[in-house]
Amino acid sequence: MKNRYKIRLTAPIHLALCGFLLAVCVLAFQASPTAAQSFGARKMKMYLYPKQPPKVFPPKARFLLQLQPQALINQRNLHQLQERLIKTLVGYDLRFNPVFTKPDIIITCVIPELNAFSTYETHYTLEPAGEMSGDLDIKSPMGSTLQPYTLTILEGHLTVRYSAQEVATGKTLDADTLTLDFKQGYERNAPKIHDLYDLLIQKLAHLIAARFVPDFNSIEVVLPKERLKHASELLQKGCWNSAIEELTALAPMAKFADESYRLYALGIAHEGLAYETPYLNPTKEYLENALAYYDNAKRNNAAETVFLQAAARVTKLLDEYRRLEPFIKAFEKSERQKDLEASLINKIQTRCGKDGFINNNTIISMVRHGVAEKIIARHLAAVQSRYFDLSPSGMAALTKAGVKANLIDAMRESMRGLPYDGKRLRQWNQLPLDSILAVYPYLLIR
């Protein structure tokens, strides 16, 4: 006869088992989709690149450059400064056309200071005593020897009182005092003085040109986790369209505080679109959408300071774009803009060949012919150049033609030029020129 064993739990073991089961239930509850939304203890972060509008945007820019030196300045340096300024302005923006008579705008640079010089300084480095020659008697308290070495110190200063005046009205459009200082030590292979002059002049030219074209800076933003973690991962990659599609498909959350994070994430997606849109109206439209989402997030959760900061950031940018709106619209509505678009495409095709260039129509044609998305994505990576219209109207046409959100994101990624993971700072000046044109199409193909 088989023996039968009964296992009887003692009271301590029984209580321990009950405690274990209770802990499992608590963990399961915490991991459930009903957990409260938040940014989490270990925050997900990414970089956004606000596109700062220019200080001034003259629709007509036949310009005359006037240099007025107030200090003793070498004529070579003065000529180089004038040449560099004209070349940079024309190279940055197709509106600019240098003239000697009947200008639309006069750019004046009063130069009270432009100098560069070198000096020498003796420094010491701490070396073990055994490695030094015996005739040195400078000893450190620890018994090592201080070895002298000479640094060549290059120093330069450039100050310019700059102004841009509209000839027709006599109005000063922009004015500022721009100062550049340079100081660096070299142990060997120090640059020549004339190289330092060149550097100061080049930096000034870019500083002035940047007042007429958009500029980029970087800000770090936090992203929500919990139920929104996957959408936040899409935002980190810059997949704005895919993130919007996923966030919109989610049902609004029952609690106002939880729903605020979904609205905030939608605001981030629209803000990201705004900074990668070349024209005024789409940029302003996306920023207005982002602000609406941020404001709703604030109303749902007034205690979250991140929402307040995001709304303040976008509000400030919108004010800047509204200031320039009449001037930019005047330029964008002109026939010159249409000619510019056609000219850009023709130049890219000439440089890369028709097989090495794609645009919206190429993608629409491939989708309609049933080409697989993986093949289209490979084609996006393989071509030498692309020029996509990813404005709201351009994306609406793509969506209507059956191009999915993830493919539109792939098109945008291919225009960025550098891998973008939302975590590393992107250097716009390292992008291929066609990618920069996608962000700001008034630049000249050089």
- DSSP for 215-230, written as a single string: EE--EEEEE--GGGHH
- Regarding whether 279 and 152 lie in a shared domain, the answer is no
* Backbone torsion region of residue 102, taken as left when φ is above 0, otherwise alpha when ψ lies between -120 and 50, otherwise beta: left
Backbone angles phi, psi at 213, to 5 degrees: -130, 160
Same domain, 300 and 255: yes
Q: Is residue 99 part of a domain?
A: yes
Question: Does residue 326 share a domain with residue 347?
Answer: no
Kindly state whether residues 67 and 188 are assigned to the same domain: yes
Q: Are residues 178 and 85 located together in one domain of the fold?
A: yes
> What's the CA gap between 178 and 206, in Å, rounded?
12
215-216/51-52 β-pairing: antiparallel
- DSSP per position, 169-183: T--EEEEEEEEEEEE
- The backbone torsions φ and ψ at residue 55, rounded to the nearest 5 degrees and listed phi first, read -70, -35
- The residue from 195, 216, 237 where one domain ends is 216
The domain that contains 102 carries what CATH number?
Answer: 3.30.160.150
Residue pair 200/156 in contact (Cβ under 8 Å)? The answer is: yes
Q: Which of 177, 199, 216 is the last residue of a domain?
A: 216
Number of domains in the chain: 3
Question: Which structural domain range is residue 417 located in?
Answer: 334-439
Q: Quick one: 72 and 84 in the same domain?
A: yes
The C-alpha atoms of residue 323 and residue 258 are separated, in whole angstroms, by 36
pLDDT in tens, the chain (446 residues): 444 444 444 555 555 555 555 554 544 444 444 557 788 878 899 988 888 888 888 877 899 999 999 888 888 888 988 998 998 888 777 678 899 999 999 999 999 999 998 998 888 777 765 554 545 445 555 556 778 888 899 999 999 999 999 999 999 999 999 999 999 888 888 888 888 988 999 899 888 988 887 777 889 999 999 999 999 999 998 899 999 999 999 989 999 999 999 999 999 999 999 988 767 778 888 999 999 999 999 999 999 999 999 999 999 999 988 888 888 777 766 655 566 667 667 766 776 666 777 888 889 999 999 999 889 988 887 776 777 888 788 888 999 999 999 999 988 887 775 555 666 666 555 555 455 455 444 443 32
- Is the domain of 82 the same as that of 183? yes
User: Which residues are CB-neighbours of 407 under 8 A, at least 6 positions away?
Assistant: 363, 367, 373, 376, 377
My answer on whether 319 and 339 are in the same domain is: no
Q: How many CB atoms lie within 10 A of CB 340?
A: 18
Q: Please state the pTM of the whole predicted model.
A: 0.70
Domain end (from 277, 307, 331): 331
